[in-house]
Copies of this chain bind each other. A is one copy, B any other.
Amino acid sequence: MYRDPDPRFDSLGGHPVALRPLRVGMIGMGTVGAGTFRVLARNQALIAARAGRGIEVVAVAVRNLARAAAIVGDGVALTDDPMQVATRPDVDVLVEVAGGTGPARDWVLGAITHGKHVVTANKALLAEHGTAIFAAARQHGVVVAYEGAVAVSIPIVKALREGLTANRIEWVAGIVNGTTNFILSQMRGAGLDFAQALVQAQALGYAEADPAFDIEGIDAAHKLALLAANAFGMPVNFADVQVQGITALQPLDVACAEQLGYRIKLLAVARRHADGIELRVQPALLPATHLLAQVNGSMNGILVQGDASGVTMYYGAGAGSEQTASAVIADLVDVARLEGTHAAQRVPHLGFHTLHPLPVLPHAAVCTQHCLRVPVHSHHGLTVVGALLARRGVPVKRLEWMASSTGQALQALVLTGAAPQGTIDLALQALQGQPEVAGPCAQWRVEPLAD
Contact = CB atoms under 8 A, between A and B. Distances in A.
A142 B1 contact: yes
A342 B19 CA distance: 11
B353 A345 contact: no
A366 interface: no
B3 A344 contact: no
A348 B53 CA distance: 12
Nearest to A35: B308
Contacts of A358: none
Contacts of A51: 165
Nearest to A1: B115
A247 interface: no
B294 A308 contact: no
A347 to B, nearest CB: 7
A115 B19 CA distance: 24
Interface residues of A, number: 86
A352 interface: yes
B164 A352 contact: no
A323 B351 CA distance: 20
Contacts of A233: 46, 49
A330 B346 CA distance: 14
A172 to B, nearest CB: 14
Nearest to A49: B352
A339 B344 CA distance: 10
Contact of A344 (B9, B167, B309, B317): B9
A406 interface: no
Interface in A263-314: 289, 291, 294-295, 306-314
A323 B308 contact: yes
A343 B16 contact: yes
Interface of A: 1-3, 6, 8-9, 15-19, 35, 39-40, 42-43, 46-47, 49-53, 115-116, 140-142, 147, 153-155, 158-159, 161-168, 233, 289, 291, 294-295, 306-317, 320, 322-323, 325-330, 333-334, 337-348, 351-354
Would you list the 9 A-B pairs with minimal beta carbon distance, nearest first? A155-B163, A1-B115, A166-B329, A312-B316, A313-B315, A309-B326, A308-B322, A153-B309, A18-B344
27 contacts: A2-B115, A18-B342, A19-B344, A43-B166, A43-B168, A46-B233, A49-B233, A49-B353, A155-B158, A155-B163, A155-B312, A158-B163, A159-B159, A162-B330, A166-B325, A294-B294, A308-B322, A308-B323, A308-B329, A309-B317, A310-B317, A310-B320, A314-B314, A339-B345, A340-B340, A341-B341, A341-B345
